[in-house]
Structure 1
């Protein structure tokens, strides 16, 4: 099994298109749109790469500094355990072999409450399932990670997301802009709403430069 399913350039392409669509929505906050990143990424992996990828919601933690003291978390601690809820969760993709998070390049913005968030590097999150640490106490080295899937929460999040026609339309825009897997990516794209208003989208400039 390879270390990555996607090379960095292809990972960044999916991330840039997804982020670029969000940048064209006035009220969208990209660093809070983990479900949209997962949804678009899942469509691309399933349809363009023929890689079975499932959207998963729950809690997540990532060690961002050696020693175990610096940990970025998405979720909430209850009785010493990291759990998720409607007010504290993250969403990612899971394949048969890997965990992939296309929102990872903007963890810096998503972790604004973390004291050293400004120092978080822009990296991709694409790791083999067998690299996951066994528990929170084992978080010791940069890149150590642990996910806590919540199937019930995932179903509710997806049901709410897909019930909105607007979200489906945005996914279609992202897929049209992405185009074919081996085609050259267009740097800009015109998005038109039902009233005929055109918004010019541009690929996100901030990209991952390495991997966690």
Structure 2
């Protein structure tokens, strides 16, 4: 069985708080760190964050229509992500509905980073066919990692997300359901072949409904013997 990789999400109002959160998270042994720049009240300093850890870093500045808090214009938002990549971040997360996604993805890769193409549905769980169609579009746009997240309305919905791993063949995949009913797919997805799953650095720092802390995720995996 694959060893689950956990990406801890850092949400902070500024770079100083992000560095403090990151230090605490690193001490818990995550595999990756995602920095949510859209939570920051002013442009962050990605160089300082990059210098603070050797762990792989994901730069995210989430669009408001995808559940984020970015206050920037679209050109400034994507420029901030590219600034982080230029500073040495390993991944850039760009939403599937980002304008000029192909060009931006090429620029991300030219800078030596990997491209995460993401889509979030905060209303429901798409059908299996819809999930497959969406990931196919992500691959067409050059995704190194396809990230497709829905909202679980029942425990049964977890099977829809986990079922995608049986058919996905191109590149990495992150797929699970948000909300309390989606916790099972959050936990099991990396054991089914998912690139990684997400956790918060601390209680109260959740960036999405149903997100567990890193400590909680580690405890669950320990009980499972993985």
* Bigger share in strand: 1
TM, length-normalised to structure 2 = 0.23
TM, length-normalised to structure 1 = 0.24
Q: Looking at both structures, which has the greater relative contact order when contacts are Cα pairs under 8 Å and sequence separation is at least 6?
A: 1
* Bigger share in helix: 2
